[in-house]
Amino acid sequence: MTNLKIGSILTIGATALGAFYLGSYTERRSNNQEFGPNKLSRLPGLPAFATVSAASLIPANETNLRATPSRISQIMKYGFPGLDHVRSQSDYVLSYDRRNRVPHWVFEHLTAESVAKNDAVDRAKSEFRPDESIHPFFRAQNTDYRRSGYDRGHMAAAGNHRLHQKHCDDTFLLSNMAPQVGQGFNRDAWNTLETHVRKLTKSYTNVYVCTGPLYLPHKEDDGKMYVKYEVIGSNTVAVPTHFYKVIVSEADDRKLHMEAYIMPNKVISNDTPLQVFQVPPETVERAAGLLFFDQLNRQQLASINGKKV
């Protein structure tokens, strides 16, 4: 190899190495400026390696609503149930199940302000749409639900996000949906539970709710237990057998009140009280394979499902 070639190779290598270190230095400075101790509030359990974009309560006249770290910190105050494909929209956080094309869990932080009627927000203007942030291999489409016999069931309810039209719009992303029986469940019993959650904001300063699907086993004629569920559409979107909500309400005195529900994805009689579906929180955790509110100080819990602890 000639001296000229060796010199060229060394020059290129030195340039590349210099560019690498310059880029690393610039990135560190940028990160420090954006996420320094005076810039970022506490992010409970926020993993540096996870796919997370954040969210913030931005004034309603702000048109370019984007997720911010402070809002993520607020929503996830009591910890992340899991860290699989975590991402957020403008006013909620979710973990996406790429195999089943539905969420693992969706987390919301509600206040009286966020659920109050707002004439500037109209859910009729919102459209169901695929989540373009999901890889096409794992993305649900509207065509998957068409003629399936199932509703596109919200995990983060549209009625929970009325501060801004974009907040409402983001709840119509299909990454926030799971197939639900329509008449008798999504439009009835499940809606009753969603309404109950919103009513909690009248009594409590902050309400935190985690919602998601379950695939529970059942015994068949051969005496064996099986987990079986339908899939719909060309993308094989899973139809959950059940859905859960785990709720923590925060009172002015900082006492916390927890509720947990599991509801079957089927027609439920309108006269069935919600209390029938209350379960111990650990029942949901075992079934979902998740730990809810694990950063919560259990000594602050005043009640679970209405019973003093």
The residues assigned a catalytic role are: 154
Residue 187 CB contacts under 8 Å (≥ 6 apart), including other chains: 151
CA torsion 300-206-258-118 (nearest 10°) is 170
Say how far residue 297 (Cα) sits from the centre of its chain. Answer: 22
Main-chain phi, psi angles of 214, to 5 degrees? -135, 155
Three-state DSSP at 127 gives coil
DSSP state of 209: E
Q: Supply the DSSP string of 175-205, one letter for each residue.
A: GGEEEEEIIIIITTHHHHHHHHHHHGGGT-S
DSSP label at residue 288: H
Phi first, then psi, for residue 82 (nearest 5°) are: -165, 170
Which tokens belong to 198?
């919103």
